[in-house]
Structure 1
Amino acid sequence: MRTKSFNEVIADYLKQRAAEDTLFAPKFTNPKKSIDECCRYILGEARKRGNEVVMTDNEVFGLAIHYYEEENIKVNARIGNSVKSRVVSSKQVPEAQTTKQLSIQYERPVFSTVKRGRGKREESKLQLSLFD
């Protein structure tokens, strides 16, 4: 059985919502909005909360609805392109551990920096992540 992607889960929810809610339907069909941008918006909002974020399904779907209801939403273009993220749904977690939450984890890029001081050049060591 194939697992649905994050974008597919959001799209399915919003399509169902548009079918049931006549006030939301015209906002969902706005040509200036897209599912991909909506998902980038959700990931960007989660990223603002920290490196490893756990959100309830209602919070995630609420952000998706907010994206479509607001005309002037700023979406971080970097999210989804250069930042690696992993989304885990409560539907992918064993039943005993399920709490109806969505976990979004980010992999931070690690940069090597050069420190300069009084003629010395030192390279800092790469920082290891506890989450790898």
Structure 2
Amino acid sequence: MKEFKDTIQKYLQERAAEDPLFAPKFANSKKNVDECCRYILGEARKRGTAVAMSDVEVFGMAVHYYDEENIKIENVPSGRSVSSTSRKVELTEEEKNAAREAAIKRLAEEQYRSLKKKPAKKKADTNVQQMSLF
């Protein structure tokens, strides 16, 4: 976690040195890098248990934390592993198909559950007839 924090802090310091509009936001005494890291981890946690994010996305969240006045910080359980990489990940066709099938299955299950939760609609007027276009 220390390496993650140090990387974020270094990026934000460099950004503040180069960007005169960001510098006062980074100097805000109500904000700090520890809380910024908790914000990023909380946002990642909302996406699931195994999340891959690019460096650009992580740094964007760090800047967003400093840009916004009232950001809600999610608590992140300790012991979480954090890693970030700029390396582009290439999936094989087999992996892509497996991921696609898993996503379709998950979506179908979610839709089925949401349909089961909805209360049955009351029958309105049973004398309604289908109009014909011909």
Q: TM-score, normalised by structure 1?
A: 0.63
2:83 is the counterpart of 1:88: yes
**Paired-residue identity, %:** 59
Amino acid at match of 1:56: S
Contact 2:4 2:82 in 1 (8 A): yes
Contact 2:53 2:84 in 1 (8 A): no
Q: Quick one: which of 64, 67, 70 aligns to 1:66?
A: 64
* Runs of 4+, deviation exceeding 4 Å: none
Contact 2:25 2:66 in 1 (8 A): yes
Partner of 2:120: none
Can you list the C-alpha shifts for 1:14-38, whole angstroms capped at 9, x where unaligned? Answer: 0000000000000000000000000
Distance 1:50 1:39 in 2: 17
- Structure with the higher fraction of residues in helix conformation: 2
Q: Quick one: which of 5, 8, 33 aligns to 2:6?
A: 8
Quote how far apart the aligned CAs of 1:88 are.
Answer: 1.8
- Structure with the higher fraction of residues in strand conformation: 1
Distance 1:84 1:99 in 2: 26
Distance 1:73 1:90 in 2: 25
Amino acid at match of 2:88: T
Q: Quick one: which of 88, 93, 97 aligns to 1:99?
A: 88
Amino acid at match of 1:17: R
Greater Rg by CA: 2
- What is the aligned length? 88
Does the residue aligned with 2:63 lie in a helix, a strand or coil?
A: helix
Q: CA RMSD in A?
A: 1.6
Distance 1:87 1:62 in 2: 16
Unaligned 5+ runs, structure 1:
92-97, 101-132
2:38 is the counterpart of 1:43: no
